[in-house]
Amino acid sequence: MPTFIYTAKSQDNAEKSGAIEAVSEHELAMQLRQEGFFLTSARLAGVAEHKGQFWKNILNIFNHVSLAEKMIFAKHLSTMVKAGLPLNKSLRILSEQTKNQYFKKVLTDVEEGITKGQSFSDSLQNYSNVFSVVFISMVRVGETAGNLEEILKNLSLQMEKDHELRSRVRGAMVYPGVILSVMVAIGILMMIMVVPKLSSVFLEMGIELPVTTRAVISVSQFLSTHSIIGIFGIFIFIFLFRLLLKTTAGKKSLDTVVLRMPPFSQFSRKINSARFARNFSSLIEAGVPIYNALQIVSNTMSNSFFKECLAETSQQIQKGETLSNILKRHSNLFPIMVVQMIEVGETTGSLAEVLKNLAEFYENEVNNATKNLSSVIEPVLMVIIGVAVGFFAISMIQPMYSMIGQM
């Protein structure tokens, strides 16, 4: 789906601009009109934007604000606003308390924006790389409804749940990460210390070496003579690979593999279902229309296929279809339980409550899955290690059998 860079105005001359995904410019105009804005200009995001985003991703690695810091910020700000402190003074106090220098700058700039007459949500919009679209949208709803402290409290609870979910997933990936890192380190040591001695023996014997053996020896010679460059190259490769995964094509390729790999496909569906239910319920409870809430939640999905599905669902909702009927057509993404529970929520008029229960259910499911994840990953690790060791052993032992045969 193409992304449009747009500007729009409301009847009272309030301006709005940004980037949003839409099927066409006409669909974009219709979507903005439902929000009370009229499209004034629109253009497709081009190559320049993608290049800018690439360098922005590099800068964001160094200018990082953790989810825990934002969670604490929302909780403290909610308490201060409830106590009657002015918003700009509350932000000044919180900026002085934070130890993250980049976050301190962000809060200072947001405070200055409010002092100059900007709304809190518009000031946060300038730092969309720090504050999620859900955060900004809910703050905007809180400002309009006059219950900002309650919205901030709900946001802090929501981020706490999200932080717990991420911590469980990252904790489950520590074990395989350590094993693979140790395996790579041992492989490099073997290439530098063991293979050169064996290759000198093969060279003295003057025997013809298999292709795999020559490949191993070539890598060994390079690492032995350029060890610093080789190790530095590995880190550069990892860095570039991580940047590639942040591009649209790289992210989509990884998401395809995850959704098709049996050990991880169910895990991914549960994580995205939990995040969808949690964020969607918060937005509906805050009073955001369903089609807008779906568009906002689509930008919070970790899997690009879930993101595209929810963005398309937002458009179909506006045509009069029910959410449960639309999600039935995406059974490869959303478990049948999600569809059935949403159908119950739509029938009974308690969709927000049903979604909360769904979020808690799938968060518990993810918690249980992460506890058992090591038992699923261990066989996969054994296969990877076995293939690596087998390749190395065959490459080095095969020439020795050839030497014995010539004697």
| 295 CB-near residues (< 8 Å, 6+ apart) | 20, 31, 310, 311, 314
Domain assignment of residue 60, yes or no: no
pLDDT interval class at 127 (50, 70, 90): confident
**Average pLDDT, integer, range 148-157:** 85
| 82 and 229 part of one domain | no
The residue segments making up the domain with residue 265 are 163-407
Distance CA 237, CA 160 (A): 34
Residue 123 has pLDDT above 70, yes or no: yes
Distance CA 277, CA 299 (A): 14
Residue 55 has pLDDT above 50, yes or no: no
Render pLDDT for 77-108 as a digit per residue (tens, 0 to 9). 999 988 888 888 999 999 988 888 889 999 99
- Closest by alpha carbon to 299, among 69, 39, 71, 21? 21
| 40 and 109 part of one domain | no
At 47 the pLDDT is 39
At 316 the pLDDT is 87
| Percent of the residues in the chain that have a pLDDT greater than 70, as a whole number | 86
Domain assignment of residue 222, yes or no: yes
pLDDT interval class at 76 (50, 70, 90): very high
**Average pLDDT, integer, range 138-161:** 82
Residue 60 has pLDDT above 70, yes or no: no
| 131 and 201 part of one domain | no
| 15 and 85 part of one domain | no
Residue 204 has pLDDT above 80, yes or no: no
Number of domains in the chain: 3
| 155 and 191 part of one domain | no
Domain assignment of residue 50, yes or no: no
CATH of the domain at 89: 1.20.81.30
| 235 and 317 part of one domain | yes
pLDDT interval class at 265 (50, 70, 90): confident
| 174 and 316 part of one domain | yes
Residue 71 has pLDDT above 80, yes or no: yes
Distance CA 206, CA 199 (A): 11
**Average pLDDT, integer, range 127-150:** 82
Render pLDDT for 9-25 as a digit per residue (tens, 0 to 9). 665 656 777 777 776 66
Residue 167 has pLDDT above 60, yes or no: yes
| 186 and 93 part of one domain | no
| 171 and 272 part of one domain | yes
**Average pLDDT, integer, range 200-206:** 75
| 172 and 265 part of one domain | yes
Of 161, 181, 212, the residue at which a domain comes to its end is 161
At 405 the pLDDT is 62
Domain assignment of residue 56, yes or no: no
Residue 151 has pLDDT above 60, yes or no: yes
Phi and psi of 127, rounded to 5°? -125, 55
| 273 and 139 part of one domain | no
Render pLDDT for 273-300 as a digit per residue (tens, 0 to 9). 888 888 888 888 878 888 888 888 887 7
Of 161, 192, 222, the residue at which a domain comes to its end is 161
Helices (H), 63-210: 67-82, 87-97, 101-115, 120-125, 133-145, 148-189, 195-205
| 41 and 76 part of one domain | no
At 49 the pLDDT is 45
Domain assignment of residue 55, yes or no: no
CATH of the domain at 12: 3.10.20
